[in-house]
Structure 1
């Protein structure tokens, strides 16, 4: 199809009664600068640099270890030529064996990429998906007659910032970025052209998607929602509804898509499980938004970052910087949408209620469950392009462009400043990824044959599942769903049901009998919980985690293995990662000596970039702790 502007005709494009409304809009001019082509080239370069800067590889590995269990699953699928897996075989704790968790295409593909190209190959794949998704957005914009101007660059960069909390991770969810972009582009192109083949292609997309990652359910919900709104408008406001043929094509697509998603190894169970999660606790969603109550179907899942509500992050002082930025971005996006949607309604007389319903619904869903920022962000950018087409040139008004250019440049500046000053360890394409995985610690456990069972934290379980199975099985891991009946609720109850004292520790270890432990550096309270017990001792640590052992087994270790916890700070004298050095400081001051902690503090001051925004605060905290410990002695 030509990239010439699509002409409004019938169906969605004009009222069902066939009347047309003559636009009163005067001819407008595009933004004129002395060198417009140079400006567009600059915006293109800034957009690419800004997205790259805002998607560092350390964020993909530090906060999420899902990739490792997906690699283990992919290895299992391909080695056994199967599409299902017994989830319980990886765990020594009680776990569900036959949960309807279906990612065999996504996990297998990631495994093959990793086997061929290693971790850098996974990041190349991630950026390829982001780049292709961006090209699809650009192509739809060009088809809608929207030229390369600041408005387009602004909405695309704002979308990239808003979806990063979900789109920056290496796991099958990354494929959902591509599929969601394809699905929404097809839908909005159908609204503009009424070519039925555009959306009748979608069931084939859903067939691959349902076997790749679970976010397909929200894409299908989007199609059902817009179809239901169209049918409602047909009943109550026929002059605002599309014609019967248009609704027929959309309904056929929805029906075929629903039938297509049944073509998976678990049949209807996958669909039923997702729909029960989506609809069974609507009251819990509303109470979470209004009162912060997280009870109900999703109650336990709030301990997982991607399931947390973002409403608290709309207020200053709420904590995590980047989650707050995502919440602000989503709120800005829905505000802009409502403004331009209202203007479009007034200007054209066409309400486009399905588009409005979808945007408002998915905004609230994304604020309730942060992982849905990906879905809302993609729906929003396609909707804004559609409104630009509907308004027929309004976004190209020269008086708007300076403001949109300033907004785009501001977002670009923020992205670049975040990369230089806010990120703890800016790196891309998997460089320094070993600073975020406990490979040395797991190697120590295996080579010294530490006694089983092995306790591990939630994050480390993912890497253990990939690197230590079948020699060692996990206590828990980022899959979470196999453990939902007992282990996961117990794990997230550490600190409440299992108090952070000797009594709580004894209660926990009497229920789960383990003899060694691997604990990620993020869980300092968990490390301290083990440290306060006289029955446990630190035997090894490195950049990412600590290894602890029951004192009954220490005598079985070789001399070399027992000296693993005695390496001094000079072993890490070239480390510049503030996260690693903070971890090492905590280990030295709690387990080794005050002097080694002081040396680590000096390495931090010397090696960490002066641009790092928390450097002074971290040094002040180190000095305060050192002073307190010194006074005790």
Structure 2
């Protein structure tokens, strides 16, 4: 019956098909676009905006630390400079909702690219939607207003272009080098894009060798060469090449001390979706037939990245989920079924409930149940009372602050006050991070640390170990207590 209608009026059938696809995809994209409207969950958001302001006002990109007194003048690779400039300009004009819209669009386009890749790999409309929602569920903890979303977007676009390349549209490969030139100025995760091209090239070589084809894939090789060639086209030149690898060492403080750089803890509810994906990958590998060499290499590489660091799980979801969908489609034909084969009741049953569930999870679990619509970002969870006190008492004295609040303090108090530490752990280095932790955790030598840096003000979580230690420490008194913080002041020496 459906095919008869299509033959009778093919134009009307195409319109109906496009409308049906839109009804499937648009609710998902709207749900993803709302994610950045939550309260600020990335503690680095604040210093990103202030860095953008510094770039705009000085008409130059800072190459040394301007924000702290502990690392003042130390070399700093501002690998997100163009994103930070955009964040400042948007917030200046439209407030925080402007940046929420900006990153909401970026997030929605990211998952639209993933959906399109799923479709190119043979999944039907409903199957592609379900796999894209599944990939998004793995990434919920990271989808907010932060520069990392730029890397997620470009990775999704690179994966889509490489999929189109393998399906005959080989001219599109030449879009990658100019996109790489833009990516390298927006976020240091550009190295993931280079890695994806390398894996695709290695897979192509492997497949050709297996088929006794000695002809080299010159287009992929040249594309990789040009993509590497454009990396130094940034304010830091060749230093940008080395920057991403500063996170590779197992001894790096960020890897050992920051939760999102640690390996996944599968007791966390949101990580169970990632665990299910790994189990599906094993099942598909055993029962779903053999994958191409490129897909196998890409799957293994991004699985290793995700198991190494929670921060990499969204990258795994973007690249590996369409591969899993294609492999599962060879095993379970339902996920390849076109829209025309589904009745409308089945369509509603299999698509809208997951979208509604995603919205409920976003609002209830990750967003505190309300949207952030005020011009200024919400200070909920940050030491707003202490900031008000410090503004009212601008007397001299160095401030020791909690790591997670450094960005907020830069946003609120720079240039009047410099911070002890903030989220730029790569710039501060391992030794200093250990020094900070010694004081924050009241480990032996904590008093000496405060003395060495001539600290007069200490701003820490109210229930933290340092707050408890200073409460009874001679020479210190509580100056201010807020919803989440305590501010202590050292008595002036006579």
* Contact 2:399–2:419 (8 Å) recurs in 1: yes
Q: Which residue of 1 aligns with 2:401?
A: 456
Structure 1 match to 2:83: 106
Change in 2 beyond 3 A, CA 1:355/1:325 = farther
Going from structure 1 to structure 2, the CA distance change for 1:226 and 1:145 (only over 3 Å counts) comes to closer
* Uncovered stretches (5+) of structure 2, i.e. residues with no partner: 1-15
Cα separation, partners in 2 of 1:420 and 1:231, compared to 1, 3 Å: closer
User: What is the alpha-carbon distance in structure 2 between the residues aligned to residue 392 and residue 325 of structure 1?
Assistant: 27
How big is the shift at 1:411? 4.8
> Would the aligned equivalents of 2:32 and 2:107 in 1 still touch at CA under 8 Å?
no
> Please, what TM-score do these two structures have when normalized by structure 1?
0.67
Q: Pairwise mapping of residues 121-200 of structure 1 onto structure 2 (< 5 A)?
A: 121-143=98-120, 146-149=123-126, 151-168=127-144, 170-193=145-168, 195-200=169-174
Distance (Å, rounded) in 2 between the aligned partners of 1:232 and 1:39: 40
CA contact (8 A) 2:398 2:456 kept: yes
Work out which of the residue numbers 292, 300, 315 in structure 2 matches 1:360. 300
Tell whether the 8 Å contact from 2:302 to 2:320 is kept in structure 1 after alignment: no
Map 1:514-533 to 2 at 5 A: 514-520=455-461, 524-533=464-473
Q: Which digits, 9 at most, give the CA deviation of each residue in 1:430-457, with x for residues without a partner?
A: 5572324434432320222143111111
* Matching of residues 142-541 of structure 1 within 5 Å: 142-143=119-120, 146-149=123-126, 151-168=127-144, 170-193=145-168, 195-235=169-209, 237-238=210-211, 244=215, 247-275=217-245, 277-278=247-248, 281=249, 296-299=250-253, 301-310=255-264, 313-314=265-266, 316=267, 324-340=268-284, 345=289, 351-384=291-324, 387=327, 395-397=335-337, 411-412=354-355, 414-419=357-362, 421-423=364-366, 425-430=368-373, 433-494=378-439, 498-499=442-443, 504-520=445-461, 524-541=464-481
Alpha-carbon distance, 1:148 to partner: 2.1
Q: CA deviation at 1:307?
A: 0.8
Name the structure 2 match of 1:47: 28
Q: Distance in 2 between matches of 1:37 and 1:201?
A: 27
Q: Are the structure 2 counterparts of residues 507 and 211 from structure 1 closer, same or farther at C-alpha, using a change threshold of 3 Å?
A: same
- 1:478 is displaced (CA, Å) by 0.9
In the alignment, what sits opposite 1:90?
Answer: 67
Deviations 1:139-192 (A, max 9, x none): 44455564421x222111111111223332x22212222211111111111111
The aligned length equals: 474
CA deviation profile, 1:273-318 (whole Å, cap 9, x unmatched):
324643xx4xxxxxxxxxxxxxx333553211221111xx12x4xx
| CA distance in 2 between partners of 1:42 and 1:544 (Å) | 44
Shift in alpha-carbon separation, 1:102–1:258, aligned structure 2, 3 A: same
Q: Is the contact between residue 505 and residue 529 of structure 1 (CA under 8 Å) also seen in structure 2?
A: no
CA distance in 1, matches of 2:274, 2:111: 19
Larger radius of gyration: 1
Change (3 A) 1:299 1:67: closer
Cα pair distance change 1:261/1:72, threshold 3 Å? same
Q: Unmatched 5+ residue regions in structure 1?
A: 1-34, 282-295, 317-323, 556-633
Change (3 A) 1:375 1:422: closer
Please tell me whether the aligned partners of residues 143 and 149 of structure 2 are also in contact (alpha carbons under 8 angstroms).
Answer: yes
> Which range moves more in the overlay, 358-367 or 135-144?
135-144
CA RMSD of the aligned region, Å? 3.5
TM-score, normalization by structure 2:
0.84
- Of residues 263-272 and 104-113 in structure 1, the stretch that sits farther from structure 2 once superposed is 263-272
The CA deviation at 1:420 is 6.0
> Secondary structure at the residue paired with 2:438?
coil
Please tell me whether the aligned partners of residues 157 and 408 of structure 1 are also in contact (alpha carbons under 8 angstroms). Answer: no
Q: CA deviation at 1:547?
A: 2.3
Task: Give the secondary-structure state (helix, strand or coil) at the position aligned to 2:101.
Answer: helix
Give the C-alpha shift of residue 268 in structure 1.
2.0
Contact 1:454 1:515 in 2 (8 A): yes
The CA deviation string for residues 212-270 of structure 1, in whole angstroms up to 9 with x for no partner, is 111111221122123123323433x126x7x836x221111111111111212222222
